[in-house]
Structure 1
Amino acid sequence: MTAPSDMLSIDLALFEQFKATGDLPSPRGVALAVMNATRAEEVSIGELANIIRTDPAFAGRLIKAANGMGTGTHRPVASIDRALMVLGLPAVRNLALGFSLLADHRKGGCAAFDYERYWSSSLIHAVAMQMLALRSHVAPPDECYCLGLLCRIGDLTLATLHPGEYAEVLRRAEAGDDLARAESERQRFSMSHAEISAAMLSGWGVPDIFAEAVLGYEALPARLAEHASRQAILTRSLGLAHQIARVCLLDAARQDAAIQVLIDCAIPLGFEAGEILELCDRIVEGWREWGALVSVATWPVPRFSEWTFNPAAPPEFEAPLPVAGESERVPSEEKPCQVLILGTDPAERQCVGQVLCTAGYEIAEASGAEQGAQLAVLSQPQLIIVSCTLPDKSGLAFVRRLRQTRIGRSIYVLGLTDHEGEEEIAEAFEAGVDDFMTRPVNSRVLLARLKASQRVLGLQREIEHGRDEIRHFAAELMMTRLPLSAAQTDSLTGFANRSGFDDLLELEWAEAVRSSRVLSCIVIELDQIARIRDETGPQGVDQALREAAAVLRAALRSRDQIARSDSEFAVLCPGTSLEDAHRVAERIRFLLGKITVGTLKLSASLGLAAHDGELGCARELFERAREMLSLAKANGHNRVCVPPEKSGNEKGKNAV
């Protein structure tokens, strides 16, 4: 990927200073691996396909993009390898970048920035640019799709790096006036959203002609002469895509005037009014298809070609993406805090509920512990107010039960008691209550305590965000350090082959020794392969192996490493104790037993071993697991065997 070009008409030194203010939105996981791989000139289609296969969601979007070329000159694309050949490496790299950012930045801390609305708009930009490029041939359609998807990345960057300050800018900006907002951004951050977008695209290796289009499309009259250069066509196309997105995002009362502006934007590109409105209908259809594929909100839009409007109506807008204050179709990401009130006294529940509803909380009520448990699972409230004096102390039993669940550990619990007795308070805290109040409930004190709870919940969210960052970083390391070549990959399942597994085993062993963490190995052999081959031939064997591979993908974590050799699979589970791996192995055996090929029902024998400080090398771990596999087969097949002296003695902190 190339460095930012000196030809780009922005101050790149200023951008370097801006970058120093925080971590810019960047690709992660498989997307990062794809971008790293495409830097190498000798990367093969097979190697890139093997990386992409580890992320089924991205693979599906890539195939969709290849089929969306719309030229009718190639047969439908049904495989990753074919999609890579149709799209080419630059487009694949940019698609990986765009979809990675979409997955990682659906929410954020900028209160005035509507993240869902931002991505809906970006998706319309992308589809519109792809279809406009199919008509104008100004650039490859798939690369234009990526340009549309990322053309407003500067908005997201400001919301990510400076959520509080940027929210202030958005609140003060006049709705729809991007140029005035850009000036406010320069005063506050030294750079505007468009300048940041252009600099980031250039830094990611996007051609400068695209970055210049991003820099200029919001101010077409001021910056673009009436000529038909490639730069002018691309910039005007992006401006037109921007206006199409704007019409789709506006309420019905303001759409007519915006459509007139849209037609005015289309005329310099050679469109007649009817032609551009018909194209907009196709863009909306494509937007809905993509929205379903990438889980971005879309909504019904009246057909452009059926709209009637007053040509004399003056245009009311100068720029597209609506910000805070403009009427919206998409609900804001900001949702009221959800509170579950659990108690047997309906009058008390009603009294507390009225206080909280007035303060903007969203309320659910339950009269008993069982009903409360069901509502806690279904609604996943941030706060629970529970009576500690429910019959048979079922209120405290509910809290204990709640704290044993993953969901319940992060919920803030406020207990209501009749007395401030030392034993009663101690018992409540031991059960898992975070704070308590005595009856009768004072509304002012209640709201003050809930406000304090919001600070605690905010800290929890920050901690969880930090954990997510660590997990993402670990995924990046895994993807960058373990790029298996085509020679190390099993073509039938996409897993590592024996050669690839040997490398993975040495790497995982070294990491386990370095960090003093447990590493478990599971070896799996399908029992009926010989009978399947006799009954159904090689095709039946391939079917059994593919279905077994699908079971393993579903049953294991993304960081677990899987390999296949003949009818045998090997799995490495880092951070997983022997006891936890045993449970996983039993689940795998049960799921494999549900597979039927021809008239034969599949079964499997499994052997386990764990690195516990006694084994001398990685090979000994694998051989110990193979010994347990042999024992499982000798004892009648269709079972899991572990070293008896270690079974059930230890628990891993990072269980599967």
Structure 2
Amino acid sequence: MLDPARLEELKASSNLPSPRGVALEILRLTQSEQANHLRLVHAIQADPALTGKLIKAANSPLLGMARPVLAVSDAVMLLGISMVRQLVLGFSLVNEHHAGECVGFDYLAYWQDSLLTAVAAHAVAQQMKIANAEETFVLGLLSQVGRLVLASAHPDRYRRLLQEIGTHKPQALTQTETAVFGASHLEIGAALLQDWGFPRKFTLAVGAHEDPERGDLLPHSHEYRIAVVLNLAWEIARLLRAGQDHSQEQLQQHSHALLFHAARVGIDEEPLTMLLTTAVERWKEWAQIFEIQAYAAEPLTFMTPTQPQSAEAPSKPTPIRSLIVDDDSALTQILRRLLVSSQHEVMIAPDGREALEMAIQFQPDIVITDWMMPQMNGLQLTRALRETRAGQNVYILFLTSLDSEERLLEAFDAGVDDYVVKPIAPRALTGRLLAAERNVQQRRALTQDIDEVRRMAQELSVNNRKLQQSALTDPLTGVPNRRYALDRLEQDISLERRRNGALSIIVLDIDYFKRINDLHGHDVGDAVLQHVAGILRAKARLQDSICRIGGEEFLVICPDTRQEDAQRCGERLRSALEAVPYQNQDLCIVVTASFGAVTMTVDMTSSDLMKCADQAVYRAKQQGRNCVVTA
């Protein structure tokens, strides 16, 4: 974690990314539990450009509003205070920092990639159902803000660092940043988000999102799951950027890496391709809202590098690639004709140095090399090849007139597989080549077996992840279920006790739900449950977890929350639920709920908390329903 003194030093820079003007006032208004919708609407309306962007954002298909949003007041009510705050923060930063003094920092590419990460994070979170999609959108947008901080606070030094390292090697970049500036862009970004009032679970996720497995996050914790979502979204943005900057071969490497990361979280190739297509389409829409120029991107071509062979035209076996290394041109031509007649692809090099360069590019299966050659002899070539990853599996056949036992042992120690003594006997050479071909075919079969095992393991991982996700999600509402809720509650209790923090929970029970089912049918009852879940997710605070724990019962877990804040949180959810009725054609149902809030004491268990909250809900029902009672 970044040293607070170092953050204050960075904040002293006048160029540090930060909300200003109306955006700063909105951020201050929304950081309090007593945030007033009317005051917030008036603050937004003071900036016409911000007003227009917010209404456009509210009407975006990404946020899925049920009806058109025409006024700021409607946008604030439907989006929720937390989402409005995050969007305003994003709009402000893009507007203030679309250009800067750091010559080596591509500001346009930075915002293009950040917005693509945001949209991809939203899509991934929706598909995986392990994080709030709207929350991950803004986290994706700001996940790389530490790079913007360094470019703004140290433009000359960061320019030199980028010229030396670039941005295509993330691990090298963070290590060099730490060495030069005392902290990486990940640590700086997480600290800045914490300073802006983002919950700790979000700042931890941002700090670890480039490699969640290497961080200190607990597996299956909420912050770890958010980091995994951001990691996959970041990889998607890197893939599409690679389509602009790199060769087809490098692009394929990014595609394979993305497939691997997606498989780890239960998304296989077909849904990933659909996710990419959706992300690109929505990215272009949001680029217009944020006034960022979008580049052309065709993700489907990235994910499908080659077309499968048809049944009528079966694929031919891959030919063996052979490299001949000898300064005797007559001998090389004889060897070449022999290998070509056996359907080999053949390359020729006159000496070891040129052969080494060819081997790195050509990646041969077999190398036939003379011992004595100018520049680099066969023994030196063999040692050099064996030191490379690609050269470790090459079959090396030596041609030599030196048949002493000591020299041959030296060759085998260097990595030679077999040898033929000059002058070459044709039958001996043919026999050695057949042995080499068998070795190559066996290695290829072994590689295929290993790839198949990896593919099966990947499919198993995908299926296990899907089963785990299904086991922890309520299929009707899409929010976590009772099993997840109880596990999460135990984790949060342990965490808050370790850091001497406060924890509250809110249980709510929909009023007169049986009457809704009896009068309108269970289909309407199910739709009402989905309606309630949607409002709770939209209006809850960023750090809260919404779960369905029974028929018409929901649980809100509120970390770092004392009793008075839990009361206000419950009241905000109650009023939001009452203010937005369920509507379907001519049917309009005002839905209310009875809320019970309880704050953890020193000796309370999770069962104690749930029991106290249930009792508070019972008292709320006795007091006339549609109210909040604290235990």
Q: What TM bracket, shorter-length normalisation?
A: 0.3 to 0.5
Specify the structure having the higher radius of gyration (Cα).
Answer: 2
TM-score normalised to the size of structure 2?
Answer: 0.45
